[in-house]
A and B are shown apart, each in its own frame.
Chain A
Amino acid sequence: MADYTYTLLIPLIPLFVFLLLGLTGHKMKPLVAGLIGSTGLGISAILSYATAFKYFIGSHVAGAGYASIKGFEVSWLHLTDKLTIHLGVLIDPISVMMLVVITTVSLMVHIYSIGYMKGDPGFYRFFSFLSLFSFSMLGLVLATNIFQMYIFWELVGVSSFLLIGYYYEKPSAVAASKKAFIVTRFADLGFLIGILMLSFNTGTFDFQTLTDPHGPAIASAGGAAFMGLSVLTWSLIFIFIGGAGKSAMFPFHIWLPDAMEGPTPVSALIHAATMVVAGVYLVARLFPVYALGAPDALMVVAWVGGFSSIFAAVIACTQTDIKRVLAFSTMSQIGYMMLSLGVSGYGGEEGLGFMASNFHLFTHAMFKALLFLGAGAVIHAVHTNEIGGMGNLRKHLPITHITFLIACVTIAGIPPFSAFFSKDEILVAAFHSNKLLFAIEYIVAGLTAFYMFRLYYGIFWGKNTQYHHTPHESPLVMTIPLMILAFGSVFAGFIPFHALVTSDGLPFESKIDWLIAIPSVLIGVLGIVVATVMYKKENPLPDKVAGTFKHLYKWAYHKFYWDEIYLFVTRKIIYRYISEPIAWFDRHVIDATMNGIAGITQYSAYAIKGLQSGKLQQYGFVFVSGTIILVLIFVYLV
């Protein structure tokens, strides 16, 4: 077996860069900090590519499956006789794939940020946080056990918090970072409870043991424990809550649109390509347990994914902030991935959905990072996020225009661009499992094409907006990453995922099912045509359509009022009806009781202190009168 100990360096280099920049960055020139960050990530990326090559091609025996290999492991904390937390690296198809995704996108974002963040006073801080995030995310995907994953899960959460709140003087950014952290933290509580249940019942945290089809986890599947579901099913549902929180699935999605307050490169890296797919990765990581041990939990995954994808797609059609459109698009696409995992089976062609989900994760990372970085270039040029303040930019930003168009065509699922292949596999998997979910995904495909081209025309065509300064194309340091990612978006579809990343490690045959593919392409084209008619030239049609579907439009525009629901729960219920009464109770009941006891003591002291006056006359009087009373009692009563 090949030696993979060196893969430890892939996360450790960014950690080192984080510490270096965090401690000494304020003394560096901004460009130096940027270069150090990019170089560090560049080395990690090269190591990741080398690992991918070695794992998938170099040391692979033809015909054999891809094994899961522990490259390195140390014991970190001993908990009980059975349970010990280890830290290590696990090399298997999905972790290697994620290494490539993360380091590629992260490197592009690093390079792009050198241009985008130029002149920002916190330049070094930005790069140190990016490195912290890269370290955490790489640690997460390389985790050998679920507790290590939870550790890094929290660390990516805090990196995301720090980067969303990067512009910390802006109250909206601070609020958004807080919201993101607390909502995901709430979901993480579910994850933690799930881990506790799973580890208690199986006696292990280790992924290899857990996902072993003959291991203790899957063997413990039988029996109903609570409300007709087994303990294993419950624990996996709880774990999925954690995944749904991180991946912004309904109803934990509310943090994602607000997270767009962060700098745009951050949105590209964290809130589009890598961290938000951690939930998908989590389910994929435990996939054999879900598929073989708890099909009910997998159904939950499928329906949450399916519902989230259409819910987000509808909202995306109405938003006017370009980053928010992309945020809802991300949520919708992750819903696709979740659904795909949810409808998948285990092993061979049954595992088509598993493969398709990872495939789509890969292609999505490319085109969505491209979209965000393109949006960043646009925002950089016109200094607004609102679609209303843009228009007719294709002449001013030619490279951004072309790459953005490529990404839009890709996400619309037009062949031969990459998402066509990955999306088609998802549709096939859904078709063979659940017709209703399949139908939903068809509608989402059309909506996706529509809202993306609405965005595209709104930015690059449409009305002739008058700009204060003529917008100009971004510097090469920003456009080169765009071109590289555009290349990835176009050609990533030709990677033979069915031979590389499968549920059981064994390759299977897969071909395009044209009966499903052709209608899906047609729906995509229809979406594009409708968008072209409505938005290519400025015309009253959009307002008319919005007027026709007034209520739906209004609800979708307000994101179906989920923010308001959450605000009601937190502000009104938790703050006003739980916290404040508790604080009041503490001061006015418990503490008052303590003060009351003290008060009574003091009062009694005052009441009886007259007896100890030290005055002889008083003592004498009391003495004599007492004697007289006693004598009287004795004389008359006894």
Chain B
Amino acid sequence: MNILNLFIIVPVLTVCGIMLTKDLKQSRLVSAIGMGVQLILAFVLVYLYLAERGAGNTATMLFMYDAVWFPSLNIHYALGVDGISVAMIALTGIVVFAGIFASWKMEFLPREFFISLIILATGVYGFFISIDLFTMFLFYELAVIPMYILIGIWGTGPKEYSAMKLTLMLMAGSALLLVGILGIYFFSAPAGSPLTFNIMEISKVHIPIEMQRFLFPFTFVGFGILGALFPFHTWSPDGHASAPTAVSMLHAGVLMKLGGYGAFRVAIFLMPQAAQEQAWIFLILTSISVVYGAFSAIVQTDLKYINAYSSVSHCGLVLFAILMMNQTAMNGAIIQMISHGLMTALFFALIGMIYGRTHTRLINEMGGLMKVIPFLGVVYVIAGLASLGLPGFSGFVAEMTIFVGAFQHVDVFHRVVTIVAASSIVITAVYILRVVGILLFGPIKNPHFLELTDAKWYERISTISLVLAITAIGTAPWWLSNMINYSLAPIVERISAVQVTGLF
């Protein structure tokens, strides 16, 4: 059997297993086992992928699987992965695994919680392995819908409002996306040949430029909303602030990456001409995103808001790099997606753990926590340093690759936006150190904090697995970078084959 099918089957079996359980203890155990298997599976996939490449398999997509499930419209359940999707699957595996352990004490309706969480994960896995646009869209929706339930039921604060806002904005994105996908479907096939949703088939033909100009903004913005593209990012702070820990982790960690991945795999890959023509508009928006998110984060007082705005900034950098449309910058974009996914998941996990102890997320009410919860404190500092791009952690690798890549454009416009985006490394340092200084250092503000206990074993599993992944990429980036580079080459070749005299 094709290994990729397992990525759908294992979560479905896990969900069935959870349905049979009775209480929190059983359901979290089943979830942990299921997602543990899934994590191992993800590493097996990485191994098999590298082995195939090592054996000289040069096909663009490996482990292809195809089954027709809607013949009249030529919709296929078509699967296949390249280095980029393999990397994203590994990311998903780690974040979901850590997320389960971060929800170890989910007392309220645990079965339903874990079921929704794993359905969400299924959608993400499915999205990354499909190469049929329709199936991809289906999985995308599968991932977005449980979000509403998860925030609406298990959230905190104005949860109904946040859940509604998040879902509606993402649905608006889906609507744009649907227009884009259907447009691609109808206008990609040459006269006489059947219509297809298959990305690899579509990439062999050129969509007429007039249609590209029309469809590209729909597709890019549709995915961009999920990737927190300015000015469609406001669902993110409210949504994250209300969501329970594991949901924030999954959402910022992997779901937002669907946006970047889709923008790259669908919008730019299939419509390179329009992408080159219109890139400048979105480059301006994304470079604003990068700086704007960082500046907003400086003055926030709620830990989750700080991290949400930081995500706006970091995800802005992902889209920014994708739009640079050269090998190095796009490679950086993919690494940044993985790096940000891990870092932000770690942040949200820590915020959840700290909130669980102090019952506040306002930094002004906290202080001196390093003294009482040293493990969580140290990990928070590590997450912060990773986030501000310290060498040795994944963020540095991603940012440097992006900046070097973006600097390969010689014109003034690209230079200016690159320097604007690069200036975020300073602003990031400001907000990270501000939080670390107020939250962890200084004297203990509240005598009640003296009774706090440090991380439990399940919290340690959750955080350590993420820290390990961040450090592994940061110290040995070459294998990831090479794996991505190999698969990027044909994509970049297709993009740069079309020479467009754009505005810049």
Contacts and interface: CB of A to CB of B under 8 A. Distances in A.
Contacts of A161: 433
A139 to B, nearest CB: 10
Interface stretch (A184-192, A307-315, A429-437, A502-510): A184-192
A598 B161 CA distance: 11
A155 B370 contact: no
A169 B368 contact: yes
Contacts of A185: 388, 425-426, 429
A487 B368 CA distance: 43
A77 B481 contact: yes
Nearest to A22: B378
A174 B403 CA distance: 31
Contact of A192 (B169, B392, B425): B425
Contacts of A555: none
B298 A171 contact: no
Interface stretch (B20-28, B33-41, B185-193, B438-446): B438-446
Q: Tell which of B403, B418, B441, B481 has the most Cβ of chain A within 10 Å.
A: B441
B396 interface: yes
Q: Tell which of B169, B385, B425, B429 has the most Cβ of chain A within 10 Å.
A: B429
Interface string B10-50: 00000000000000000000000000000000000000000
B477 interface: yes
Contact of A200 (B408, B419, B425, B440): B408
A178 interface: yes
Given A171-B442, A178-B437, A594-B165, A196 B403 contact: yes
Given A155-B390, A199-B404, A598-B165, A582 B296 contact: yes
Given A83-B404, A583-B300, A76 B477 contact: yes
A168 B234 contact: no
Interface string B340-366: 000000000000000000000000000
A192 B422 contact: yes
Contacts of A158: 385, 390
A200 B405 CA distance: 10
B426 A182 contact: yes
B397 interface: yes
A168 B440 contact: yes
Contacts of B430: 182
Contact of B168 (A78, A83, A598): A598
Given A189-B425, A582-B292, A169 B443 contact: yes
A470 interface: no
Nearest to A590: B231
Contacts of A83: 404
B130 interface: no
B165 A80 contact: no
Contacts of B437: 174-175, 178
Contacts of A152: 391
B174 interface: no
Interface size band for B: 35 or more
Given A158-B390, A169-B441, A80 B328 contact: yes
Given A169-B441, A182-B426, A598-B165, A154 B434 contact: no
Interface residues of A, number: 50
A181 B433 contact: yes
Contact of B397 (A77, A199, A575): A77
A154 B404 contact: no
A15 to B, nearest CB: 10
A466 interface: no
A580 B298 CA distance: 8
Given A79-B404, A174-B441, A196-B404, A182 B429 contact: yes
A168 B442 CA distance: 6
Given A155-B392, A582-B296, A192 B403 contact: yes
B442 A181 contact: no
A586 interface: yes
B299 A583 contact: yes
A171 to B, nearest CB: 5
Interface of B: 165, 168-169, 231, 234-235, 238, 292, 295-296, 298-300, 327-328, 368, 370-371, 385, 388-392, 396-397, 400-401, 403-405, 407-408, 418-419, 422-423, 425-426, 429-430, 433-434, 437, 440-443, 477-478, 481-482, 485
Of all A-B residue pairs in the complex, the 6 with the closest CB atoms, nearest first, are A151-B391, A591-B234, A168-B441, A579-B298, A174-B441, A196-B407
16 contacts: A76-B478, A77-B478, A79-B405, A152-B391, A154-B391, A158-B385, A169-B371, A169-B442, A169-B443, A170-B442, A185-B426, A192-B403, A196-B418, A586-B234, A594-B169, A594-B235
